[in-house]
Structure 1
């Protein structure tokens, strides 16, 4: 394999990792938003804990 072909493959792998990292980051942000919504909507702390726990087990 030529250096140019190898470099192209490395760039593609870097881009795939970047996309994967962005997806993980977005998923974490969405989960954080969901937890904040649960906390805001919960009747009390125990209710919030149970709902968050159920979310994390999913």
Structure 2
């Protein structure tokens, strides 16, 4: 069992929000089901874009 299951899920409460990036290790159907079963909402961040990263945007030459 993944450590996310034993560490994250017991800390969740109905109405909690879990934000995850799009790393493939975070896209476990089993983990998603456990988060939803705990009454929490799972939101994946959008894919990386330099236009959403202020540091990259400010230092960009174009």
Q: Do these two structures clear the TM 0.5 threshold for a shared fold by scoring above it?
A: no
Q: TM-score, normalised by structure 2?
A: 0.23
Larger Rg, first or second structure (1 or 2): 1
Higher strand share: 2
Whose RCO is larger (CA < 8 A, sep 6+)?
A: 2
Higher helix share: 1
Q: TM-score, normalised by structure 1?
A: 0.24
